[in-house]
A and B are shown apart, each in its own frame.
Chain A
Amino acid sequence: MLASLFLIGASLTTPQMSVQAASQTVVEDSDDGMARAVNRMVGGIVSYARWPDGSADSARVMCVVGTPRLTNRMAPDVPGAGSVLVRRLSVAAVTSRGDCDVLFLGRMAIADRRQLIAWVRGRPILTITDDDAACIFGAMFCLSSRAASLSFSVNLDAIGRGPLRIDPRVLNIGRGDGGAS
């Protein structure tokens, strides 16, 4: 009985790279419903990421580049201890300062995005975007809004290239839409 429990647990935590399905968060139908949903989702994603240097509950710096499409009131709601400081920076500032833990990519020029994605590669930086519903441009997490729900997809290749560790359960939830399911 116990062994079977562990087996089931193990199968649950194993990410299945080949299949992708998106999460579906219910968005409350109010003025700041979308803002709350986005902040909750971003906070959740941040809470499931592990930076190689720090502990889970240390404050993280989130640099917002470009114009976020879903909400302008970025204040990620991290469950439990831990918080996120939000800064709005330009592409040049991000690459020169180099103290961002999270990079939120809003709407921006394709060249800038490509430059940032290339710069992030190999660095312990979590990338989230809300301007790439198909999640094909290289950000690790892609938020998208459909009807009255908010969902995110995961780009496993992008996560696999970086030194960040993401809880497999989140990967499981955020399996992208393009799969067989």
Chain B
Amino acid sequence: MTGKAPERIGARTTLQKLLSRFHFGITLFAVALSGLTILLAGVTALRGYADRNMELAAQLGAYGVEPALVFNDPQAAREGLEPLTRIPGIARLRVLDDRGQPLTQWASPMADPAPLLTRMFFPRPFAVTVERNGSAIGTIEVWGDSSTLIDYVRIGLLAGLGCLLITALGTIFLARRFEYELVKPLNEIATVAHDVRLHRRFDKRVQPLGIAELDRLGGDINALLDELQGWQGHMESERAMLAHRASHDTLTAMPNRDAFDEQLAMRIAAADARGSRFALLFIDADNFKAANDNFGHAAGDAVLVALSACIKETLREGDFAARIGGDEFIVIVDPIDVETAANDLANRIRACVAQPVELPGGETYRASVSVGAALYPDDGDDATALLTAADAAMYADKLTNRSRV
């Protein structure tokens, strides 16, 4: 099936790789999306905190510089601002008196790490009006810078990257497991199909699978295999029947000439190998033509069936009988232990045949046979010679019978 795939699909991928790719893509997307969301939410929250921080710093500064504004004292104002200069994230401070004239100012010696971020987050200074007993006596202005934000963004990005890595690894692991769960049953089905195709193992079946769809597929394949097995069994019995029909005679159900020739060759080979002997009996019905002419073909057939029944009856285990012509039968007597075994058998056949046969017309017929025996290898060392010897012996017997009659 797959072996003859068209060339253009040369870069064929496995299901596992495909799933892995999909999983990774989806996971990457999800993690990136959630990471971005968290980062944005964090930045928003941080901006709120930074604003609050600036506001608190401004309030603290307002509290600190209030007496300095009351006494119009720049030195005291500087001292009042001093605690604010230690708070990270403040770029610049300015104290204005009630007429808007700067009393003192301070700028952070540290350079702003990201002016763009600062412009985005702190576009304007935080200004708090300093009041004394309900009247404004001045203003304090606080400019923020991005140093605290930069730290957060840096840590956030690092943590996000770490999370991405961990999540990616975890998802790859989970995807592997999932793929394994999916690919294993598919492989099982494929193995069964392969076995059936390659080794004709029609008895193979897909085991029940954990995934419903695949289990259904497996069940269908099993049903198909059941059918195939049925067909194959049918075909085999058909073939056996045909083979039997080819090698057997339809009337007496005995092996025919072809089967006999084959059997004889085998027996000769076996006897040669073992150095043993066997006998061949050539049996011919006497006056069969006359019986056929007098009583009809149906009667002739009945005689032949009776004859074959007698032969089959007398056979021992290991012996082989065949009908090789119209009224000619052959028996291979194998093994023979004593010289007289063949003659014994011949006599028993004669006795059996001598029983009257009931013909379809109601008459009875008493048949007789002539039997010739030949011994292998004494009377012939190949099939033809042996058969000729047996045939000759049978003729001799027939002549004797005629002269007796």
Contacts and interface: CB of A to CB of B under 8 A. Distances in A.
A99 interface: no
B133 A12 contact: no
B57 A173 contact: no
A81 B74 CA distance: 24
Interface stretch (B3-11, B64-72, B151-159): B64-72
B309 interface: no
B73 interface: yes
A114 interface: no
B388 interface: no
Interface in A62-112: 78-82
Contacts of A169: 63-64, 66-67, 80
A81 B72 CA distance: 19
A30 interface: no
A8 B67 contact: no
A9 B63 contact: yes
Contacts of B131: 80
A50 interface: no
Interface in B56-105: 56-57, 60, 63-64, 66-68, 70-76, 79-80, 83-84, 86-87
A173 B74 contact: no
A25 B73 contact: yes
A23 B133 contact: no
Interface stretch (A40-48, A128-136, A157-165): A40-48
Interface centre among B53, B79, B132 (most CB of A within 10 A): B132
A37 B71 CA distance: 8
A49 interface: no
B80 to A, nearest CB: 8
Interface string B123-157: 00000000111110100000000000000000000
Interface of A: 1-2, 4-5, 8-9, 11-12, 23-26, 37, 40-41, 44, 47-48, 56-57, 78-82, 152, 167, 169-170, 172-173
Interface of B: 49, 53, 56-57, 60, 63-64, 66-68, 70-76, 79-80, 83-84, 86-87, 131-135, 137
27 contacts: A2-B56, A5-B56, A5-B60, A5-B87, A8-B60, A8-B86, A9-B83, A11-B83, A12-B63, A23-B76, A24-B73, A24-B74, A25-B73, A26-B72, A40-B71, A40-B72, A47-B132, A56-B133, A80-B135, A81-B135, A82-B133, A169-B66, A169-B67, A169-B80, A172-B67, A173-B68, A173-B73
